[in-house]
Structure 1
């Protein structure tokens, strides 16, 4: 399993392709989110696969269980590496999502199903006062992770700050996918629970999602290599 995915947060394939080519990010694993997928459709997955990119398809499905199952059955045919749902959709929805992936696969390819716990743009105040969910962010992230695992998910999206505890509760094989990764000199933007690659490594994160710390860097390839260096060797930024 690849452990770093660059987020292609661009409005069109032309812009995403230009970014990858211009900065020589050939064959790097990439994350395709709603913005790009809703514009370009499934064809973008085929284009990226032809260029040997591993793919995390980040659509965060959240609907009634039957609808999610049918959607996952279609997505399974794209044979990406990772897809996700919102854990807030509940246990049956997660079960049906896994069922759809298995039903839709025509090969031995395994797409990992991960569940989003608490968005990294959220903090305790917004969770408690806007969503009216009691408890703190970590408690809820761990709770969502535990019941996601019990219902067939292979891992969760969480912040680096929850990854260690989730590993303790769910086991070392349960994947922790962590966005909000920032090099020391990068702005955190709207990520309220950001962290450096070094901290991610120390906290047991398995997979890093690299957004603006790479895509908005003056030299994106250098930034990507710097993340790899810090992740691999624990070097301070």
Structure 2
């Protein structure tokens, strides 16, 4: 049986530490994995990461490293030392991704800790086919995501971030062991917001997603714990 708590990642979408701390406390019993994004990390100077470690929660550090290989490698090593569970890089040049994969293994071995997962961002879920055309890309979102997923697998990183709309194609192309993390997840009753390519939790699991990232439907709910528990149930009943 699928364990919903092992699949659900809650995105902390506030830039204030006190509000993040309050949210984590409210969700302590229903959520095991939290995503700390760029705005949250910078605005709190990493304090939320420290608090999550104090609470024994798994940390998805979503900073989407994208730079020259040396810089990306150093950033990955620093994230490993911070004992995060999962981190993101952008799917970019093969050398950079390979060096990130190797750096994570080496640093974890040096510290005698479990190696964190590295997943590559394929196509941001806020982008549409027209957005890609506007920047000169002649592939649609699905085609580009699949192409980048194949590159990510070849590089040796653990998986990708992708829309649940194309996750089944990525599983077909890269195999069931290649991790897929899907943002843009919205229960049927929720507002779409600024995400253009969204899928319900049950549908995402049926399509082969390993992990689901949910933000506002939980964090802005009147009862975040109740909302999270409902989504966990939806995952388990998929």
**Could you state the TM-score of these two structures normalised by the residue count of structure 2?**
0.93
More divergent stretch after superposition (8-17 vs 137-146): 8-17
Match of 1:128 in 2: 133
1:180 aligns with 2:184: yes
Residue 62 of structure 1 deviates from its aligned partner by: 0.4
What CA distance in whole angstroms lies between the structure 2 residues aligned with 1:83 and 1:28? 16
Q: The residue matched to 2:212 in structure 1 has which SS? A: strand
Match of 1:117 in 2: 122
1:86 aligns with 2:90: yes
| 1:158-187 deviation digits (Å, cap 9, x = unpaired) | 000111010001000001100001011111
Match of 2:154 in 1: 150
What CA distance in whole angstroms lies between the structure 2 residues aligned with 1:27 and 1:207? 13
Cα distance change on mapping 1:100 and 1:182 into 2, 3 Å: same
Match of 1:228 in 2: 232
Residue 27 of structure 1 deviates from its aligned partner by: 5.6
Q: Which runs of 5+ in 1 are unaligned?
A: none
Q: The residue matched to 2:166 in structure 1 has which SS? A: helix
Residue 19 of structure 1 deviates from its aligned partner by: 1.8
Q: Which of the pair has the greater relative contact order for Cα pairs under 8 Å at 6+ separation?
A: 2
Residue 127 of structure 1 deviates from its aligned partner by: 0.8
What CA distance in whole angstroms lies between the structure 2 residues aligned with 1:15 and 1:184? 26
Q: For the aligned residues, what is the CA RMSD?
A: 1.6
Match of 1:102 in 2: 105
Residue 20 of structure 1 deviates from its aligned partner by: 2.3
What CA distance in whole angstroms lies between the structure 2 residues aligned with 1:74 and 1:145? 25
List 4+ stretches of structure 1 deviating above 6 A: none
More divergent stretch after superposition (100-109 vs 205-214): 100-109
1:9 pairs, out of 8, 13, 17, with 13
**Conserved 8 A contact 2:98-2:155:** yes
What CA distance in whole angstroms lies between the structure 1 residues aligned with 2:228 and 2:27? 10
Q: Which runs of 5+ in 2 are unaligned?
A: none
More divergent stretch after superposition (54-63 vs 2-11): 2-11
What CA distance in whole angstroms lies between the structure 1 residues aligned with 2:175 and 2:164? 16
The count of residues paired between Structure 1 and Structure 2 equals 232
